[in-house]
Structure 1
């Protein structure tokens, strides 16, 4: 039987990780960034393209910016909170607001000029077509 000594400091070293995990569970970052809300993303791949679907309830397409640079697709924007004249008496407040940024790196086989995006019923769909694979060809020896 192996004897293990109790070290009271072991639990303290895990405390920062536990605090960060706690805040992540509530959609909050423990750092000082402005990002509080991030859209939920599905990223899929077929033989001919990649597809991103992002749930963005409460946003309009004018609230979202999409950019593609150096094989990185970035979705940025801001989900603005509702403002009311009178102060409400909240019993529960679960919705999050704020700026967001999600970035995805793609392989070099992407047709950058053919990327398409649509926004319907609070879901952003971005289709990123793959470039056609170069087919091997025979070279005649002269």
Structure 2
């Protein structure tokens, strides 16, 4: 019996031998980048997109967003063309101590969330409050459009 036959060979290693040198290089570069970026937050990461609920009552639309660690000064609300945009940024907080070397790091980043509002919303009537990291935005519903009858007159 041959000693080489007792050594397990993964299918991955066999497949690489049959590839061209350029394909093997491409796979190795892909593997390196996948390993390097693992652990970093991505755009789809929940760290950068806060949880948000949108509910509708008879009189208003309620938007609730969880923004732990943020204060009122860190949050910005804008309404343009019936789009409510919530922006915020969590600042980096870092603490170091010289003796026995004590280090504290916190995550940070910026986010933007946008909600489509119904046409006719009065932007001046929107109210926002924030308590314990929870933002609540109340948007009064616009009055329903009333049909107006227009009289047709003969041409002059």
- Coarse TM-score class (shorter-chain normalised): 0.5 to 0.7
TM-score w.r.t. the length of structure 2 is: 0.59
Please say if residues 65 and 135 of structure 2, whose CA atoms lie closer than 8 Å, have aligned partners that are also in contact. Answer: yes
Alignment CA distance shift 1:126-1:118 (3 Å)? same
Q: In structure 1, what is the Cα distance between the partners aligned to 2:150 and 2:81? A: 33
Larger RCO, structure (CA 8 Å, separation 6 or more)? 1
TM-score, normalised relative to structure 1:
0.64
State the number of aligned residues.
116
The structure having more radius of gyration, on CA atoms, is: 2
Which consecutive residues of structure 2, in runs of 5 or more, have no partner in the other structure?
A: 1-33
- For residues 133 and 121 of structure 1, the distance between their equivalents in structure 2, rounded to whole angstroms, comes to 35
Distance, in Å, in 1 between the alignment partners of 2:146 and 2:43 is 49
Superposition misfits of 4+ residues, deviation over 3 angstroms: 86-90, 134-141
Residue in structure 1 matched with residue 128 of structure 2 by the alignment? 117
> Alpha carbon RMSD of aligned pairs, Å?
3.4
The equivalences for 1:119-138 within 5 A come to: 119-136=130-147
Instruction: Return the structure number with greater helix share.
Output: 2
